[in-house]
Amino acid sequence: MDCKGNHFYAMKNKKVAFLIIFSALFFVACSQKPVKNADNHVEESTVEAVAEEAVNYVLIETDLGNIVVKLYNETPRHRDNFLKLVNEGFYDGLLFHRVIKNFMIQGGDPKSKDAQPGQMLGDGGLPYTVPAEFVKGLFHKKGALAAARQGDNVNPNKESSSCQFYIVQGNVWNPNQLKMMEYQMQKHFSQEQIEAYTTIGGTPHLDGDYTVFGEVVEGLDVVDKIAAVQCGQFDRPVKDVKMKMKVIQK
């Protein structure tokens, strides 16, 4: 799918021969129109010794079971924004409005609350964006929690949506596929990435383009259940999958 007008928000399609050959799915993610940040820039860092900070966990209750995500302290802007919205009850009653099997499940559009059946969703949001926080060592393995955003053509700084997120399901890849992807997309995968992508799987072609700010620590089976639901137009589940969130202690 291509992003057309202001009604769709799209994650950039990587039009490379490798993804076509191996029938990889391209992620069209949803976000709101970007708003300039005062400190508008892309964060690039590494997973180093983070100060002794409390680890934050969020329980995502759904119609198909519960998911627990851990938020990374290495991505403090995304962590704090997500916690703020959770504590405000922003996500309660919203839908996983876009689901692609073997790829990801996406939610967080405020327009999805009480949406009519078949209504197109994905263009809702809040009037700000979150500066990108790319951290080496945090990548799109299965269960990764990441921020949706608009495509590079209108969002060159890769700023994240204020509220829309996705959880990776992905595919399991073999080493040769990853090598070809490295060549075609001019990326380099670490040994940790290779091990994860060849065992539990993920969406490696999104690394370095979308901020990963957490991961599922409980309920990967629920992610699989949501990813397997029947979907209609716009990849929206035919039967609504609602969410409710709260911060928990572990």
pLDDT of residue 50: 54
Q: What amino acid occupies position 59?
A: L
Residue 15 vs residue 135, higher pLDDT: 135
pLDDT class for 250, splitting at 50, 70, 90?
confident
β-pair type (133-136, 43-46): parallel
The answer to whether residue 177 is domain-embedded is: yes
Instruction: Indicate whether 8 belongs to any domain.
Output: no
CA distance between the termini of the chain: 40
Residues 6 or more apart whose CB falls under 8 angstroms from that of 36 comprise none
Structural domains in the chain (count): 1
Torsional class of 65: left (φ above 0), alpha (ψ -120 to 50), beta (otherwise)? left
* Any domain includes 43: no
Residue 48 lies in a domain: no
Segment 21-74, tens digit of pLDDT? 333 333 344 444 344 343 444 445 555 545 568 999 999 999 999 999 999 999
Q: Which two tokens stand for residue 137?
A: 């060592």
Q: What mean pLDDT, rounded, does the chain reach? A: 85
From 57-61, 226-230, 246-250, the region with the lowest mean pLDDT: 246-250
- The answer to whether residue 95 is domain-embedded is yes
| pTM, full prediction | 0.83
Residue with tokens 């400190």: 39
- Averaged pLDDT for residues 126-144: 97
Query: Looking at the domain assignment, is residue 104 inside a domain?
Result: yes
Q: Which amino acid is at 124?
A: G
In tens, the pLDDT along 79-104 reads 999 999 999 999 999 999 999 999 99
CATH number at residue 83: 2.40.100.10
Full domain range(s) for residue 215: 17-32+54-113+130-248
Q: Is residue 39 part of a domain?
A: no
